[in-house]
Amino acid sequence: MTSTASFGVQAFFDAVTGTVSYVLHDAASREAAVIDPVWDFDVQSGRTSTASAQRIADYLQAEQLTLHWVLETHTHADHLSAAQWLRMQMPSGEVRVAAPVVIGQQITQVQKVFGGIYGMEDCIAPQGADFDCLLSDGDVLALGATRIRALGVPGHTPADLAYAVEAAGAVAAIFVGDTLFMPDVGTARCDFPGGDARALYRSIGRLLAHPPQTTLYVCHDYPPAGRAAAWCSTVAEQRAHNIHVHDGVDEAAFVAMREARDATLAMPQLMLPSVQVNIRAGRLPDADAQGRRFLKLPVDAL
């Protein structure tokens, strides 16, 4: 738990996928946002579970927080999103509108590319309407007196957003999405359809232009042997120690490193099940007349 006088952050680490989900709350109003919640999925059996998301729901209830936003930093390729389940979770007895699911405006580009790969053109709502709220760079959401500003950080995907937390008019923390990892792990891959290492370098430069003490919360951790999972660093730590983009690494060197490294990486285990759900804001494919649901497995498409 990280706290300032005005807001708090609680992390939830999913060791299966290396994903870090967060609850951000405004201390005075008890209004909360959940960032990148995980819906557990076992690919061998095809079974889903809400165990990870339940931990977040339990935390909201225990801390008497009301969920105002479910924020996705991007279309995840390594886990299914629990956004749809979580947005319906209310403190017992409470009746109100479900929390909006938020993502970047460029999600429509990601939907177009992957809608073609999956043959899902007819299932995707026009203009990104599977999501409740699409943000552009600079847009601001309110959480009581705390402000959440969207920062466009394309590269890993064209639609990646980071979320900067502003308290008393200054950026105190940023949820960086799939851009930077912990300094000893480096940076996010850029080889999925629509990825761009050059764009990622520029996006990271934008994040690292914030004041040195700014707290950065990563979206994933893949801890090297001997280190416990971690998710919190600062601009100063990243600029000094990030193995891919410390001060002095120029764009050409970064792009060459990133592209060479990406060529060696396998597809994430849950990529094909995840993306078809996540481009529809965490919805499974529609059920057939008998109530059965099926995921698609595109052959030779990636």
Chain length of the chain: 302
Nearer to Fe ion, 26 or 196 (CB): 196
Nearer to Fe ion, 214 or 274 (CB): 274
Smallest distance, Fe ion to C-beta of residue 78, A? 6
Smallest distance, Fe ion to C-beta of residue 35, A? 13
How many Cβ atoms sit within 10 Å of the Cβ of residue 243? 14
Helix H or strand E segment including 54: helix 51-62
| 196 scored as a contact of Fe ion (CB under 5 A) | no
Instruction: Report the alpha-carbon distance of residue 118 to residue 43 in Å, rounded.
Output: 18
Nearer to Fe ion, 146 or 276 (CB): 276
| 160 scored as a contact of Fe ion (CB under 5 A) | no
Stretch that binds Fe ion, among 16-24, 62-70, 87-95, 174-182 (CB under 5 A): 174-182
Query: What does each C-alpha distance from 2 to 51, 86, 196 come to in angstroms?
Result: 23, 22, 33
136 backbone dihedrals φ, ψ, rounded to 5° = -105, 165
| 178 scored as a contact of Fe ion (CB under 5 A) | yes
- Type of residue at 16: V
Stretch that binds Fe ion, among 45-53, 73-81, 98-106, 117-125 (CB under 5 A): 73-81
Instruction: Report the alpha-carbon distance of residue 94 to residue 243 in Å, rounded.
Output: 47
Stretch that binds Fe ion, among 26-34, 71-79, 106-114, 147-155 (CB under 5 A): 71-79
| 221 scored as a contact of Fe ion (CB under 5 A) | no
* Residue nearest Fe ion, Cβ-based: 178
How many Cβ atoms sit within 10 Å of the Cβ of residue 237? 16
Stretch that binds Fe ion, among 54-62, 161-169, 176-184, 257-265 (CB under 5 A): 176-184
Nearer to Fe ion, 76 or 210 (CB): 76
- Tokens at residue 67, please? 């969920």
**Which among 114, 108, 115 is positioned nearest to 136, based on CA atoms?**
108
Binding residues for Fe ion (CB under 5 A): 76, 178
